[in-house]
Structure 1
Amino acid sequence: MTTHNKNNVLFLVHRKELIDQIRNTLQSNDVDMDFVTLGMVQTIVRRLDKTVTPSLIIIDESHHVLANSYKKIIAHFSTALVVGFTATPVRLSGGGLGDINDILIEKVTAKWLIENNFLSPYKYYAPEIVHTDALNIKRTGEFDMSSLDDQFNTRMIWGDVIRHYQKLADGEQAILYASSIYQSEKMAASFNSVGIYASHIDGKTPKTIRDDIIKRFREGDIKVLCNLDLIGEGFDVPDCSTVIMLRPTQSLSLYIQQSMRGMRYRPGKTSIIIDHVGNVTRFGLPDMERTWSLEPKKGSNATKAEAPVKICKECFMTVSQTAKKCEHCGTEFKVEIKAVEVDEAAELKEVKEFNIKIVCHKPEDCQDMHDLYAYAESKGYKRGWAYHRGKSMGFIK
């Protein structure tokens, strides 16, 4: 290893909560810590002149690497080799990370990890009780969460969340992702009120209290651990089987990190994902095959059009768009048929095409622009999406 050759290594993380666990991992793998500078990027960027010049820079969760702080560090230590690790090599806007990285190395997929017992299999349920269609999008490309607290209160969503947990994962240890501190604290209190022991933590929770809560979660005393954007990227938490998603996102990276948090492998375990905010309709199932690219422009790895799933109306199980019946409850899916309304006062005209639209299961099944527009309408996509997809498929010259 580099440190065994007495070369200095700079290891960058983006959260202070990750430093201790990464240090423990490096030490347990016989890394000579005398040659490792382990620190938060926010700290290192302010102390560049006081940081030992590294031969190698390692970046954890490197999909953040396009931030100016990372760029400044890399430019300052321009002779160092740079290696980044991430499960989701994509920025929020949808493009790749080619501005910084030269080579993208992909070894395994999520499906391979499940099939080879590195991740547990899962069941995905999507009872969408939070309405996200009216949320504004901020300049960063992410949802504006400011109106969600009102929706939670006026629609009494707290009880719905608990009922679905009891129905789909009763008694299982769960991590709940909220969209505000208020929601997280309210959900913890709501679970406790019905005898399901829960606690809340966030980035401002004192370390001693946070460590104690995680310890009790690890020991099984706490059943539901509610948090706001803390137990996500790289954060090492005790094994649990269930994830409850109350935080809508436009970020594929954040979606994968959070939805797969309960999939740490254990023999006989099946992870349960309960998505109350429709994230699966934006991104598809967490282990679906995706084409990653370093290209900086917007690509297919982020567009919601590549989310070929459907949700059982009986049990909320989420399955592939091509499935003929629900694998959980057995409900058979019917072919979606939409009839065009007829104006009775209109003149009779010769019928040259059927006034019925058979909606294709996926874009690749579409035979012409008529099919694509029908598909877009069924998914709630804009007609512009169908136009650009039609050009790429050769329907429009």
Structure 2
Amino acid sequence: MTTNHSALAGEIISLRPYQSNVVDATRAALRAGKRRVLTYLPTGGGKTRVATAITQMTLAKSSGRVIVLANRKQLVHQFAAALRAAGLDVGIAQGENTAGLHHRVVVCSIDTIHARNYTFDDVALFIIDEAHAVAGSEKYRRLLFRFNKVPVIGLSATPFARGLGKHYDELHGALFEELVVGATVQQLVDDGFLTDLEIYAPSKPDMAGAKLTRTPEGEQDYRQADIDEATDRPELVGDIIRHWLKLAAGRKTIVFASSIAHSKHIVGQFQAAGVTAEHLDCYMDDDTRADILGKFERGDFTVLSNVALLSEGFDLPNTFCMILARPTRSLTRFLQMVGRILRPAPGKTHALLLDHSGSVQRIGHPFDDLPLDLDDGSPNKSGCQEREKPEPKPCPSCKFVKPAGTRKCPKCSFEPERQNDIEVIDGELERFDRKAKKPATPDRKQHVYSQLLQVARNKGYSPGWVAHKYRAMFDVWPRNMRDVTATPTGELLSWLKSQEIRFAKGREKHQEGRSHV
């Protein structure tokens, strides 16, 4: 009997234009011979819908199976639910919930696959959710080594992990061979697919002397014991409550604390102030966690505090405010947390970030350009994405955080006299504004250079074209740039188009002048 693959796949779900484009670009990379492609979309950009469409297209064109991999139980069940909502028959391989392994789509926990050593036959495609975790996971790498001829699509909102582009002999190439960029955060905000963000930031907690450790993604971050010592103090916890009451009272809020004890202390202080609040952690059983999340979604209480449990897979668009009470140097962790509040909702004109950690001034604004090229694991890469000095400065009058180099406050118009004895009051929140020219950091320069290389190769342009366009943007010639390409963003392509228009107008003006001679 002939199998109707189109019927099994269901009708292809509808996609936004940028989602359709990234599906096409990802599939084109596989057709061009790439075996492992990493697809980037910001948190809230619709990675699950993109993966669902790709799954449907794969089932319609192939008799093989699609295996989806996730690194958390919650993500396994969320992904399976999304695929089923699109009309697909989906099995699950996740601990005691394992069932339906005969289906053509199976969503798997990487821990369960590793522990039980499952061998799937006729795999047409692997899809890996939160694929930034692959580089630091021996379990993922062993699986990819075992199925090294099967195409792989990784999905991530934070593709900065050290070693994602590292060469492995077992794979006969890089862990991920190409990065496909779907859209930037700023593009999605401009188009209304994500909400704008307003930030208030305190002076930094005292992290002097804090030791650093390496995260699973290969970035440097503060040691947990030093974070706890710097943040879990009565005066700092009290400051969190005071500023929330001032700026976000009554609005649905999530808190990222430094530890379980810290989270419980914050919840206790909210409750003492008459604010309904609950704590959530990974040691609670499934029913308790589901009950707390359900109550938060219904609006039975206002503030939900956790450590890192909600940094991936938590999607509640009407959450307005996030309190960041955990200092971090990790760009990945920072963006994963901030992304929880960027989804739009009716009546939500913007989201609010209350940064009690100093992370915004340390790392930068979440909408800034990101280092969107794959890290090859070489030792000259720091693994830590951090804003270069100088940092934004707080306005002495209203505590609004001004961009570096800005004297006159864009919020209250205060302009300080030229003196060096202005101090910031500890714990006062200041609004962060990024309406200034973006700093030409080494990462940004490399990312622009990599995009220009790709454009040149696509168009057949010479290396001289790349150098001149780089100089037009940064006023310097490229030096010490790595010969790696990156998918051009809409922002860069628009800039190149503006350069072409400017050049054409200049040439027309020159020719008109010659005609009058």
- With the shorter chain as reference, the TM-score category is 0.7 to 0.9
Residue 273 (structure 1) aligned to one of 316, 332, 353: 353
The answer to whether the 8 Å contact 1:130/1:277 transfers is: yes
Whole-angstrom CA distance in 2 between matches of 1:232 and 1:302: 18
Partner of residue 189, structure 1: 268
Alignment of 1:231-246 (within 5 A): 231-237=310-316, 239-246=318-325
Partner of residue 366, structure 2: 286
Whole-angstrom CA distance in 2 between matches of 1:191 and 1:58: 41
CA change 1:286–1:334 in 2 (3 A) is farther
| Cα displacement (A) at 1:362 | 8.2
Cα deviation, 1:232-268, whole Å, max 9, x if unaligned, reads: 1233345301110011122111101112311111254
Whole-angstrom CA distance in 1 between matches of 2:410 and 2:336: 25
Does structure 1 residue 302 correspond to structure 2 residue 385? yes
Partner of residue 311, structure 1: 394
Partner of residue 109, structure 2: 40
Cα deviation, 1:272-291, whole Å, max 9, x if unaligned, reads: 10111111122100001123
CA change 1:150–1:211 in 2 (3 A) is same
The answer to whether the 8 Å contact 2:207/2:230 transfers is: no
Cα deviation, 1:189-222, whole Å, max 9, x if unaligned, reads: 1101111111011111111111111111111121
Whole-angstrom CA distance in 2 between matches of 1:174 and 1:327: 27
Partner of residue 199, structure 2: 124
Whole-angstrom CA distance in 1 between matches of 2:344 and 2:72: 25
Partner of residue 10, structure 1: 67
Whole-angstrom CA distance in 2 between matches of 1:50 and 1:229: 32
Whole-angstrom CA distance in 2 between matches of 1:312 and 1:96: 40
Partner of residue 239, structure 2: 160
Whole-angstrom CA distance in 2 between matches of 1:187 and 1:22: 32
CA change 1:163–1:265 in 2 (3 A) is same
Alignment of 1:68-217 (within 5 A): 68-91=138-161, 97-98=165-166, 99-128=174-203, 130-140=205-215, 141-152=220-231, 154=233, 156-217=235-296
Whole-angstrom CA distance in 2 between matches of 1:264 and 1:72: 35
RMSD: 3.0
The answer to whether the 8 Å contact 1:247/1:277 transfers is: yes
Count of residue pairs brought into register by the alignment: 346
The answer to whether the 8 Å contact 2:76/2:107 transfers is: yes
Whole-angstrom CA distance in 2 between matches of 1:334 and 1:6: 73
The answer to whether the 8 Å contact 2:197/2:351 transfers is: yes
Whole-angstrom CA distance in 1 between matches of 2:249 and 2:213: 36
CA change 1:118–1:196 in 2 (3 A) is same
Percent sequence identity over matched residues?
30
**1:55 aligned counterpart, secondary structure:** strand
Cα deviation, 1:133-189, whole Å, max 9, x if unaligned, reads: 332112543211214444445552111010011112121111100110000111111
Q: Which moved more, 1:154-163 or 1:101-110?
A: 154-163
Does structure 1 residue 21 correspond to structure 2 residue 78? yes
| Cα displacement (A) at 1:109 | 0.8
Whole-angstrom CA distance in 1 between matches of 2:384 and 2:212: 19
The answer to whether the 8 Å contact 1:232/1:257 transfers is: yes
Whole-angstrom CA distance in 1 between matches of 2:242 and 2:204: 12
Alignment of 1:366-385 (within 5 A): none
**2:211 aligned counterpart, secondary structure:** coil
- Partner amino acid, structure 2, of 1:206: D
CA change 1:327–1:207 in 2 (3 A) is farther
Q: Which moved more, 1:139-148 or 1:12-21?
A: 139-148
CA change 1:72–1:191 in 2 (3 A) is same
Query: Which of the two has greater helix per residue?
Result: 2
Partner of residue 381, structure 1: none
Whole-angstrom CA distance in 1 between matches of 2:68 and 2:389: 35
Whole-angstrom CA distance in 1 between matches of 2:268 and 2:105: 42
The answer to whether the 8 Å contact 1:55/1:79 transfers is: no
User: Where does the alignment leave 5 or more consecutive residues of structure 1 unmatched?
Assistant: 339-360, 366-390
- Partner amino acid, structure 1, of 2:207: T
Taking structure 1 as the reference length, what is the TM-score of the superposition?
0.78
- Partner amino acid, structure 2, of 1:177: F
Partner of residue 252, structure 1: 331
Whole-angstrom CA distance in 1 between matches of 2:390 and 2:184: 17
Does structure 1 residue 226 correspond to structure 2 residue 305? yes
**2:153 aligned counterpart, secondary structure:** strand
The answer to whether the 8 Å contact 1:233/1:257 transfers is: yes
Alignment of 1:322-337 (within 5 A): 323-332=406-415
**1:2 aligned counterpart, secondary structure:** helix
**1:72 aligned counterpart, secondary structure:** helix
| Cα displacement (A) at 1:13 | 0.8
**1:304 aligned counterpart, secondary structure:** coil
CA change 1:10–1:163 in 2 (3 A) is same
